[in-house]
Each structure stands twice: as structure tokens, then as C-alpha cells.
Amino acid sequence: MTLSETEALELDANDPGHRELFDVPPAQGGDYPEVAYFAGNSLGLRPKATRSELLADLDSWAALGVEGHLDAARPWLPYHELLTGPAARLVGALPSETVVMNTLTVNLHLLMVSFYRPTRSRHRIVIEDSAFPSDSYAVRSQVAFHGYDAEDAVIRLRPRPGENSLRTADVVEQLGGDVALVLLGGVNYLTGELMDIPTITKAGHAAGAIVGWDLAHAAGNVPLALHDWGVDFAAWCSYKYLNSGPGAIAGAFVHERHLGADLPRFEGWWSTDAKTRFEMTPESRPPATADAWQVSNPPIFSMSPVRTSLEIFDKVGIEVLRERSVRLTAYLSELLAGFEVITPADPARRGAQLSLRVPEPGAVSRRLRFEYGVIADSREPDVLRLAPVPLYSTYHDCWRAAAALAAVMA
């Protein structure tokens, strides 16, 4: 680490983010009042506006009771529609292709009901070997549900020996005629690698497969163009880079070419067309939009923080955030030059995350927090993750993290 604290402060003066919009926790150790927060890839910080906006929705319940469905300042009946446009803009989709609902893995299962349609000759699913465990559990259970052996049917992609990231060409090479579904993370949770979504999607389609993406670490982190890339389906959570609170309601995308198609789908009260919902007929009349994949009526008080967060992204713009993210992550990378970073060095192949190999990462993370006021994220057995989030992280935060890490490792 060679850059000075003064230089970090000068960079912040010339390239400020939007830290003032967020509640930053107080530090429990170190020389600064607030933490240097690098765990936004696990749980984002709370926007200051979230509390008042959520209380306003709660007050509608107190004042109106059931009449809030139609008479609240933000009526509950169509409330989810307030999130559709901003979410679509964030992931590069049409509003008709986008819905905010459920949680990430629930959405993946609901989408696989429609898009994982295995046959004896084509039933394999391609994922990363370092996929988040929930994705592994989901695809293995889907394979088993259809009567196939997960050990054979799930293809787990590994980097080449001695490498930490997947090469796009190696991914494409695995997409044979027996692959029914490609389901990869847009940004890998462990390494921070940004996958080549358009190239892999195109190759998957050329092989005759359906291509879906888990965007848990990509939504709100990197620009996306799901519609133009021809992605079949995608799902994402909202509590990481989207700063909507622990377990926040998630999002889903279905390309318009599948909308209105005769696909198998689980249905419920909110799957039917809103215009005829209260005719109370026994048969669902699903709309030709992604809303057809909804099952239950939306949880308003869970949607409120998502709506507040999406407003920030609409105002600031994901392209602007990406540009600052590249600068901020490059600066942190320079500070960490003496460490083994397993995230790709090319800014075009990573999001707002650097993963380091360190011994006993849990112990290192605890010391960073309680001795230096730096919150990082550990993954056993040997990975420490640092996410400089462009909305609220600063260059000074990066300087603090690098200085603290150097002191701990010494």
C-alpha cells in the first residue's frame, strides 16, 4: 500500500458518491466514527428515506384499514406496479417482462417450472461449481423432482487448473446437445467475476438450451440489457446492491417471446389478470406479462423499501454508478497490490467486488471490524470479500480497509 490518506480524501472531494443518502453504522473500533462498509454484496446499507416512506405506508393501514387497498396515498391493490418500471429500467427489460415478487430462490423455482422441461435426451443443467449453495440446492432438487440423477444431470463448471475464474470459451464448450438449461450467476458471489452474459446466452440458444441468470450480485451492480441480450429468464434479490433490507422482496424477468405462451406455470390469486381478478372465477386468466408468474398478493410493507431504493437508482443512473464503481474498485485494487486477489484484474470482467485469499478469513474479518471499524465479508476456507459500493463507499473507506488489512496480516 503506497497511496496516502490525503490522496484518498482528495479523490473523494473530486469524485463523491451518494453516502449522504444512507445510514452508515457507527464503528466499534478504530479511529473513525463510522464504519468503512464493504459488505454491500451481502447486505446493503439502509437509505435514509426508507424509514419515513415505510412509516407512511404503515400509517395508511392505521388510518384506513381495508380501504387502503384503494384509498391509500399509494393504494395497495396496484402497489407492485410502482416497482415494475424502475426495476425494468435497472435490468434492461420491458415493463411487461418484469415483476417484483417473492424471494430469489422461490422465483428461480417458479421459473424453472416453466423453463426446465427435461427429456431423456436433453435434461442436463449447467451451473458454476462455485455457484451460491442455494442455486445448487435448487437445481439439484429440480433435477431430482423430474426423476434424474443430480450427480449426472448437473454440470458444474470449474476454472482451469491454476486459475480462479471461468473463461467464456470454456463455458461455451460445455453447452452440448444434452443441456436443457444454463443457469449461471451474472456476477459470481465468491470471486466477483462478471460473466459474459450476452455471449453465453447466444451460445446456449445455439445449442438448443434455455438460458437463465441469477442476478443476485449483478442487479444494481453492473448495467444489464436482458431484453436485448435475449435472456430467457432471470431472477435477482434486492437486499445486496439494491439496499432494500434483509430478506427483501426479489425480482424476476421473462423475455417477451415467452409471454402469453402456453407454458406450464404454478398459479395463484395474483397470477390472473387484474381486470378480471374480482370476478372470482375458478379458472385463472393470466395476463401476457411477467405478472402471470406471480402467485400471492404482494406484501406491501416489504415492497416499500424496494420502491424507495429503486427511486435512488432511477435518479442516479446505473451507468453513472458503474463508471464510479470501476474507478473505486481500481483504486482499491491498487491499494491491495501485495495481496492475492482472485477477482479478474480486467475491470470489464468484474463488478464492485475484490476477493482475496487469506488464511482464517473469519478471524481476519472480526479483527477488521472490532479493531479498525472495517466491515468485510468472509467465506471459508480462505476468501475475504471487499465490495466498494459506488453509491456509498468512499476512497477513504478503501484506504482504511487496505491499511487495516495490512496491519492485521502483519
- The predicted model gives 237-245 an average pLDDT of 98
- Rounded mean pLDDT of 148-166? 97
Distance CA 221, CA 61 (A): 34
Same domain, 241 and 206: yes
- The pLDDT tens digits of the residues spanning 287-342 come to 999 999 999 999 999 999 999 999 999 999 999 999 999 999 999 999 999 999 99
Q: Is residue 47 reached through a cis peptide bond, with omega within 30 degrees of 0 on the bond before it?
A: no
Q: Are residues 180 and 224 in the same domain?
A: yes
pLDDT digits (tens, 9 = 90+) for 179-224: 999 999 999 999 999 999 999 999 999 999 999 999 999 999 999 9
Q: What percent of the chain has pLDDT over 90?
A: 99
SS (H, E, C) 345-393: CCHHHECCCEEEECCCHHHHHHHHHHHHCEECEEECCCEEEEECCCCCC
Cell of 71: 384509498
> Measured between alpha carbons, how far is 318 from 316 in angstroms, rounded to an integer?
7
Residues 227 and 290 in one domain: yes
Global pTM value: 0.97
Number of domains in the chain: 2
Whether the Cβ atoms of residue 248 and residue 310 lie closer than 8 Å to each other? no
Within a domain: residue 50?
A: no
Query: Are 389 and 351 within 8 A, CB to CB?
Result: no
Q: Do 158 and 33 sit in the same domain of this protein?
A: no
Last residue of a domain, which of 290, 314, 338? 314
* Parent domain of 112: 55-314
Evaluate whether residue 49 is within a structural domain.
Answer: no
81 and 210 share one domain: yes
CA 376/CA 387 separation, integer angstroms? 8
Burial of residue 80, with CB atoms counted within 10 A of its CB: 0-12 exposed, 13-18 middle, 19 or more buried: buried
Cell 436485448 maps to which residue? 228
Contacts of 162 (CB under 8 A, 6+ apart): none
- Count the neighbouring beta carbons within 10 Å of the beta carbon of residue 95: 15
DSSP-derived secondary structure letter, 194: B
Q: Which of 277, 295, 314 is the last residue of a domain?
A: 314
Q: Pick from 270, 296, 314: which residue ends a domain?
A: 314
139 is a domain residue: yes
